[in-house]
């Protein structure tokens, strides 16, 4: 698997896993390997021996125990976004980044200890069944998801096309149960593109899918320009992020060759620029955001505000100000935070978010449009 840079709030160390006489683990910090001695694994050997002797039923396979040990190592960092990914979970993540998979058609995130549905995509099993953004998933097929990672819950919900899954959610204090039939789901990055007035265009960007988001956005932008658009609304509400390169390309349509974001790691702060070329749009830009606008969404919103004076309307964004890369291992991979990101004006966003220029209830499209048209006058 090739390394990919993603912007989805992940912090993890690079792990090097191997097996020699039981367990051999090492990890890299600052590029220097730290090798643990055989005696350092006495605790693991003792624990495994006790479990083999006393656990009331059969233990998982050695492979599953190894994966569990790797997950425990990353969990010890105390960061909910930090985790080792098994080969199966990597496959699921790749599907997420590409926007094509077999499942029910939702985006989930972890808020505190709760698994929350962040987005329900139209014309999917979830939308047809009546699941809603904000629903808290409590169980899948009768199994509780308390203290379970987002990736594990995602794998529980997915399966072969045509099979059923039962999802229990908490909504307004009431527990609801939904039985859904899994389908092949291919989610467009741009889910809506239209003229809302004779001169104001609107583009809804749902996620920064790999190799698709920027091309779909460009097509919509060019089409709306041809229909007479002089001002643009970019709707990033509930967009959880995705590929950093896609975000850079989209900013480049408005500010080619300019700094999109600064990467700040332990050693330096370096700029990442948009691709060069011709500017595709020079009119006014308004961006709709809310608490579900995260990561790559915040990169685009922050960059366009700093670079071209775009106005942000809605509610404060999530505040995922970290950039990650996926580091492949001999088995599975780890998601690695390589840096904190700053806007072109070097504003930090992590755990802070972007405050809108105009505060509007983000669920009310009519009020957002009304406030937008006032802003554009």
Burial class (CB in 10 A: 0-12, 13-18, 19+), 128: middle
Of 320, 330, 357, 365, which is the active-site residue?
320
H helices within the chain, ranges in order?
42-54, 62-75, 87-98, 125-129, 150-157, 213-226, 244-252, 296-308, 365-376
Q: Is 154 annotated as catalytic?
A: no
Catalytic residue (choose from 149, 154, 295, 297): 295
> In 3-state terms, what secondary structure has residue 109?
strand
CA distance 356 to 365: 16
CA distances from 67 to 7, 10, 64, 115, 285 (A): 25, 19, 5, 22, 47
Using DSSP, state whether 267 is helix, strand or coil: coil
Q: How far is CA 137 from CA 105, 113, 124, in A?
A: 14, 11, 17
Beta strand ranges found along 246-332 (DSSP E) = 259-264, 269-273, 284-289, 311-314, 322-328
Question: Residue 286 corresponds to which tokens in the numbers above?
Answer: 């308004």
| Given 306, 330, 357, 367, the catalytic residue | 306
Q: Please state, in angstroms and rounded to a whole number, the distance separating the CA atoms of residues 47 and 248.
A: 48
Contact 183, 216 (CB under 8 A): no
Contact 260, 299 (CB under 8 A): yes
In sequence order, the β-bridge partners of residue 29 are 32
The answer to whether residue 306 is catalytic is yes
Strand 84-85 relative to strand 32-35: parallel, antiparallel, unpaired? unpaired
Whole-angstrom distance, CA of residue 36 vs CA of residue 38: 7
Residues in Cβ contact with 118 at an 8 Å cutoff, skipping those fewer than 6 apart: 106, 107, 108, 109, 133, 238, 240, 292
| Distance of alpha carbon 251 from alpha carbon 264, whole angstroms | 20
Structural element, H or E, at residue 111:
strand 106-111
Residues tagged active-site: 295, 306, 320
């Amino acid at each position: 698997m090739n390394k990919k840079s993603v912007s989805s709030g992940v912090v993890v160390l690079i792990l090097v896993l191997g097996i020699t006489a039981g367990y051999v683990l090492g990890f890299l910090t600052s590029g220097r390997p730290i090798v643990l001695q055989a005696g350092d694994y006495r605790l693991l050997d003792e624990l495994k021996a006790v479990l083999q002797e006393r656990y009331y039923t059969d233990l998982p396979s050695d492979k599953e125990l190894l994966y569990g040990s790797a997950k425990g190592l990353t969990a010890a960092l105390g960061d909910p976004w930090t985790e080792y990914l098994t080969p199966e979970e990597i496959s699921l993540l790749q599907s997420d980044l590409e926007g094509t998979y077999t499942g029910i058609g939702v985006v989930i995130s972890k808020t505190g200890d709760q698994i929350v549905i962040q987005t329900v995509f139209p014309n999917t099993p979830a939308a047809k069944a009546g699941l809603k953004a904000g629903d808290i998933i409590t169980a899948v097929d009768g199994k509780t998801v308390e203290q379970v990672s987002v990736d594990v819950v995602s794998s529980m919900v997915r399966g072969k096309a045509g099979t059923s899954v039962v999802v229990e959610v908490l909504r307004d204090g009431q527990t609801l149960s939904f039985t859904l039939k899994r389908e092949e789901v291919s989610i467009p990055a741009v889910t809506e593109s239209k003229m809302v007035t004779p001169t104001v265009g609107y583009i809804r960007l749902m996620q920064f899918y790999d190799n698709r988001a920027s091309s779909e956005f460009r097509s919509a932008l060019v089409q709306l320009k041809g229909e007479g658009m002089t001002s643009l609304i970019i709707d990033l509400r509930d967009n959880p992020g995705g590929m950093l390169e896609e975000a850079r390309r989209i900013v480049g349509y408005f500010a080619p060759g300019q700094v999109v974001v600064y990467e700040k790691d332990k050693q330096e702060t370096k700029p990442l620029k948009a691709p060069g070329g011709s500017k595709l749009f020079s009119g006014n830009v308004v961006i709709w955001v809310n608490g579900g606008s995260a990561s790559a969404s915040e990169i685009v919103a922050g960059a366009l505000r700093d670079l071209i004076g775009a106005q942000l309307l809605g509610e404060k964004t999530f505040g995922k100000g970290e950039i990650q890369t996926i580091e492949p291992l001999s088995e599975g991979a780890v998601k690695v935070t390589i840096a904190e990101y700053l806007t072109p004006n070097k504003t930090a966003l992590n755990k802070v978010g972007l405050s809108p220029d105009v505060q509007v209830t983000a669920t009310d499209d009519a009020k957002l449009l009304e406030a937008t048209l006032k802003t554009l006058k």
